[in-house]
Structure 1
Amino acid sequence: MTDRPLDVHRVSRESLRAMAVGDASEGDLRLLRSAQRSQLLLVLRALLDHVDDAARRTRHPGGITSVRSAWRLLCAAEDRAPEAVETVLADPTVMAWALRLLRRLVGSASGTPSAAPLWAELGQFHALAASAAWRAGVPCVLRVPAHRGMVWLPGAGMAGPVARRRWSEAVVRVDGEGAAVHGEGGQVPLSRSLPEGAPGWRPLRAVRGLTPAAQEAAGAGPWLDTVSPYRDFVRYPSAPGRTGEGRLRLWESRLAGAHALLERESPADAAALRTLVRAVVPRSLSLRTAEGGPVASASSLDAFGAVTLSLPYDETQTAAVLVHETRHQQLNALLSLVELVQGAGDEPGGTVDRRLYYAPWRSDPRPVRGLLHGVFAFAGVGRFWRTHRGHVTGTERQRADFEFAVLREQVQEAVAVLVTDDALTEAGRLFADEIAGLVATWREDDVAAGPRALARHYCALRRALWRGRHLEIPPGAAQRLAAAWVAGHAASALPPSAVRPRPDLIRLDAFGPLARFHLSSPAAFARRRLREEKQGDPALRAGYAAVAGDAEQAALGYAKWTAADPQEPEAWIGAVLALPEHARGAGAALLLDRPEVVAGVRRAVAAAGGGFPAPLDLAAWLDAADPHPR
């Protein structure tokens, strides 16, 4: 803002190693946060080079006030009360607004376009200055945009409605007593004390009940953000939400409990969370949805410090999700300082070959940068569950054992692939090698037999389903093999498979949520299973039976599912996995290792008029061929 000596953000090899294994120091974390603040200032400064010219080309009744006056007001506020400006800039949605506007002005906008007129997005610069002036007590009068009558005051909240139209202008007046927002349909007075709630005022809600360590950063979060117009990572602007007081208190309880749990069990994760995450944006999903499966959560490159998630069902799940999203925040900030992957190969038009990989926690193929993000994030979550196992007993220990066993296998598999990709830079290879070394130390950890068996089943199912959906053999090769099958000849050598993403084939994961339900609430699981058996859905009945270890009932359910939908690989993959290993028979290994071959040949046989052969019979026939390239 004001003239100060420039500093350079540098990450040492020692810091890079520490970050890779989740042991970043407080200094490392502050460096990442400081670098993101510097990036925001650069973006704001870049906007100054474009906004006034854009304003001159934008038609708007009364014209658009020069943004440079807003910049001067920000500087004046910083001179009087630097902490006021810092709190405003700490709002993650400021970066989201600034980056989206800059891309719009330079013609590089991607994704969902803004629904806001350009004059309104330009005018948010004045809203930024007005919020800082209000906090700092700098007298001013500014024209600002209003969306559905609501005025955004970054770092504080939303005032209004002061108008009825979809887009209009309002005036913010700041004096020694506070501020007032005036519109064509009314006004909202705001005192200097930054009220938590008042008529016409929707504040960012500070999370209450935090531990003393977490409360140290209370001036810059964490907030529950249900109001900011740029809080949505996809659509913008968004109107303030209608989350009730009871649900907000439940969110606070979950978040405060998660902070406390991490302070007790995982201080390094707690430090990263309170340093890097400023705002939590609740997603509008029901509590029942959260109980039935994993939490939906996300971070955005455009909004450092903000995470969005659906309501977790308890504080432990909340802690795990926050560790996961904090890792994404950390890696996003690190990637702005250190090139870990060469070029922009993950972006459209990038220079690096877009090779796609199996990321065990995703249903779609991922490029190397996405795989790196997943490996780093889930290594952190795996470490969390590994530690948490030592603090709990009973069903909670069973649940923690399962989560750890799943992530131990998945991260080891993914990082082994990651370290072979030649798009990694020297720093990227060092980073990936450190993660690989960390998860290698988990191999000998004991896990209870029940959770361990379910974890192996789950990982094998996800791997096989991914291959069945997103890999294929050449159609000509499938037709030749089909002709040999129909003619009763031996199978020829199996061809290699290639990635062909098929998002249309992706189904919601059922086995994972059922396994978690079984381990966390075995009695409730048994009651639900009895109810589902009466309703007759063969897929769900098979899933319940497989999780319960009832191979006979699972086989019946999967057989009915296969009969109803012969081309659904999940049915016959599930049928094989539900059997004990010694009872799976010839062809089971090939069916699980290369289901795309079985699926491709089955389709070719059916197309040739031979019907759909039994998957295991066909797999056994194919298994006699050699070699089996992957």
Structure 2
Amino acid sequence: MSGTTELPGLRVPSEVFDRICSGPVDAESMTLLRRGQYGIRLLRLCTLIESAPEDVRDLEQAWSVLEAAEHAAPSVVEDLLMHPAVGVWLARTLHDVCATPAVSDSTRTEVQVLLAVAAAAAVRCGLSCTISVPVVDGAVTLPTVGQWRLHEQDGSADRVEVRITAGDVTFGRRTSFVTVKRHRTAARGRSLEVVIDDVDPHREFPAPAPPDPLDEAAFDGWCKQLDEAWDLLTRWHGDYAGELAAGLTTLIPLAARTPVFAASSTNAFGGIALSPKDSAAELAEAMVHEIQHSKLNALMDLLSLHREGGTAWVYAPWRSDPRPLCGLLHGIYAFTSVAEFWYVQRDLVPPAQSRRGHFTFAHRCRQVRAAIDSVRDSPELTDLGKRFVAASSARLDALDLTSVPADLTDAVTTLLADHRATWRIHHVRPNPVDVAAAADAWADGRPCPGAVRCEVVPVAQPAVSSRAALVELRAFDPESFHRTARDETAHVLFARGDHEAAAAAYEREVLAEPSHDDAWVGLGLAAGSAALLDQPQTVRAVHLRVLARTGVAPAPLELAAWLGRA
């Protein structure tokens, strides 16, 4: 195949880089990113062929078929190799082949998927050949073509022979065929055509998944909502519609029960996996959000926004777990676009959803602003990385937050403070030596000896606030909140706005159970203690140390104020 042994360097012109940083891009910029991804696919394909175990049969035939197909129709082969499921399979299989000297039987089976890719190329390019392809989950899948399910008596076979004659497929056994689902939607002279991939074993990003074909009603539902989302995007968000038309190729429906709102993968350029959405606006938001990750993944394969080798974990205001710097940059970029989307969309939703639209806009703006402020001076950023962050900052500056109702702004402020403090008490660990010195100084009546050093130590269990849902319910639907939140717990008192009573209740909880994370954060919020919200993990650690040494629990807010003077 042409270009597989040596790929020319792909440069990103400065104006294209700035265009990508500044938001939605044109088709030319998306094509450049796609070219880079295609080059990576070809390199991975070559490496897989070279690294595959010698006893894996027929790979030379697969390569020959792909060469013939590329000669006949290079754009078709590119479309096939750029299919998200092919990219996921290729990256995962290459990793497994190279990870250990002893290649497992399951990895050998995965390598043989290359034969199915070659067969798909032959079908789409009108070639003729006979090729033995793998059977997975009782079916033969030819990416971008369709899936043949073997009848029960043949379903246990590992491989079957397929005869392809001028693109027509013949099996030597009984099968039932399901074609690849596609949907084309158009509005205002713009169209979007996507594969709706519900059967390819490699369609989902974390791990292979068995086919889960949509029935006719479910497929029609996806298509209807996609039509509505496209109408919305072309009407109100034309620039984002343009880049989606140029870059989005595949939607992967996830089961309604999955907690994933939407997802993308660095190995699946143009693919979005997502659970069913309640509205066209939600679907449009998910598509706008995830195409940003596709763009940024492709951009970061071509240039560096941060220095390699950095291992520090950082706080992301939209995540409950610590993130690498790369993940924070992804969030800044994607949620800046979400903020821009809701800046327009909040005034277009039905009145009953207006408050949620204003809230989402303000929340995303403030989250991204906090992230930008935390990273803009990071020594880990390259010069390009600093340009990238500055561009997102400028985009936020152009969005007017003053139109958000004041009570929603207050709710956002509360939730951001709650989220950050909850994350810190969960994932940040104070230095034990410094904690001991501070506890001794408190017990002896001396000034705090200095700031307590801390480090981020990720905990597998997510950091979740029990108050957030109540605060949001009161912001979105005050009547429902007052109807359902009738008890006198600390959380309800706080969400109700009775901060004095909430502080007293939280303090009782802290003194009764000093290890109770949620109570420490709640006390900081209700009492307005900046020191406790900034360093809840330190206040708790010193409190526990003093209690262990003296048998007397320090007054929590007094201890926080004392530590805050260091």
Alpha-carbon distance between aligned partners in 2 of 1:514 and 1:314, rounded to the nearest angstrom: 24
Alignment match of 2:335 (pick from 370, 374, 378): 378
Partner of 2:159: 169
| Pairs within 5 Å for 1:425-436 | 425-436=382-393
Alpha-carbon distance between aligned partners in 1 of 2:471 and 2:513, rounded to the nearest angstrom: 24
Partner of 1:309: 274
* Superposed CA offset, 1:7-37 (max 9, x none): 6532221211121120422211121122212
Amino acid corresponding to residue 14 of structure 2 in structure 1: R
Partner of 1:101: 93
Partner of 2:534: 593
Partner of 2:39: 38
Alpha-carbon distance between aligned partners in 1 of 2:16 and 2:455, rounded to the nearest angstrom: 36
Partner of 1:117: 106
Comparing 603-612 with 142-151, greater Cα deviation is found at 603-612
Partner of 2:174: 187
Partner of 1:573: 521
Counterpart secondary structure, 2:159: strand
Alpha-carbon distance between aligned partners in 2 of 1:21 and 1:406, rounded to the nearest angstrom: 20
Q: CA deviation at 1:128?
A: 0.8
Alpha-carbon distance between aligned partners in 2 of 1:164 and 1:115, rounded to the nearest angstrom: 24
Counterpart secondary structure, 2:276: coil
Q: CA deviation at 1:601?
A: 1.0
Counterpart secondary structure, 1:273: helix
Amino acid corresponding to residue 179 of structure 1 in structure 2: V
| Pairs within 5 Å for 1:273-292 | 273-286=244-257
Alpha-carbon distance between aligned partners in 1 of 2:429 and 2:166, rounded to the nearest angstrom: 70
Partner of 1:196: none
Task: Give the structure-1-normalised TM-score.
Answer: 0.80
Residues 464 and 592 of structure 1 are in contact (CA less than 8 Å); yes or no, is this contact kept in structure 2?
Answer: yes
- Sort the Cα spacing of 1:155 and 1:569 in 2 relative to 1 into closer, same or farther, 3 A: same
Residues 148 and 167 of structure 1 are in contact (CA less than 8 Å); yes or no, is this contact kept in structure 2?
Answer: no
Q: CA deviation at 1:140?
A: 1.6
* Superposed CA offset, 1:433-454 (max 9, x none): 2222222333664321121111
Partner of 1:602: 543
CA RMSD of aligned residues (A): 3.2
Alpha-carbon distance between aligned partners in 2 of 1:153 and 1:510, rounded to the nearest angstrom: 47
Q: CA deviation at 1:114?
A: 9.9
Partner of 2:453: 497
Partner of 2:21: 20
1:257 aligns with 2:214: no
1:205 aligns with 2:162: no
- Sort the Cα spacing of 1:265 and 1:571 in 2 relative to 1 into closer, same or farther, 3 A: farther
Counterpart secondary structure, 1:340: coil
Ranges of 4+ aligned residues in structure 1 off by more than 6 Å = 3-7, 113-116
Alpha-carbon distance between aligned partners in 1 of 2:123 and 2:211, rounded to the nearest angstrom: 21
Alpha-carbon distance between aligned partners in 1 of 2:438 and 2:430, rounded to the nearest angstrom: 11
1:318 aligns with 2:310: no
Alpha-carbon distance between aligned partners in 1 of 2:304 and 2:189, rounded to the nearest angstrom: 33
Counterpart secondary structure, 1:503: coil
Partner of 1:357: 314
Partner of 1:70: 62
Counterpart secondary structure, 2:451: coil
Alpha-carbon distance between aligned partners in 1 of 2:180 and 2:103, rounded to the nearest angstrom: 23
Alignment match of 2:302 (pick from 337, 343, 363): 337
| Identity within the alignment, % | 30
Residues 116 and 143 of structure 2 are in contact (CA less than 8 Å); yes or no, is this contact kept in structure 1?
Answer: yes
Alpha-carbon distance between aligned partners in 1 of 2:306 and 2:498, rounded to the nearest angstrom: 46
Partner of 1:350: none
Residues 368 and 421 of structure 1 are in contact (CA less than 8 Å); yes or no, is this contact kept in structure 2?
Answer: no
Alpha-carbon distance between aligned partners in 2 of 1:512 and 1:404, rounded to the nearest angstrom: 17
Q: CA deviation at 1:144?
A: 0.4
Counterpart secondary structure, 2:396: helix
Residues 90 and 278 of structure 1 are in contact (CA less than 8 Å); yes or no, is this contact kept in structure 2?
Answer: no
Amino acid corresponding to residue 182 of structure 2 in structure 1: A
Q: CA deviation at 1:511?
A: 4.7
Comparing 462-471 with 242-251, greater Cα deviation is found at 242-251
Q: CA deviation at 1:208?
A: 5.8
Alpha-carbon distance between aligned partners in 1 of 2:552 and 2:202, rounded to the nearest angstrom: 54
Partner of 1:191: none
Q: CA deviation at 1:459?
A: 0.6
- Sort the Cα spacing of 1:108 and 1:421 in 2 relative to 1 into closer, same or farther, 3 A: farther
Alignment match of 2:204 (pick from 194, 207, 232): 232
Amino acid corresponding to residue 493 of structure 1 in structure 2: P
Amino acid corresponding to residue 204 of structure 1 in structure 2: V
Q: CA deviation at 1:515?
A: 4.8
Amino acid corresponding to residue 299 of structure 1 in structure 2: S
Alpha-carbon distance between aligned partners in 1 of 2:538 and 2:264, rounded to the nearest angstrom: 36
Residues 471 and 499 of structure 1 are in contact (CA less than 8 Å); yes or no, is this contact kept in structure 2?
Answer: yes
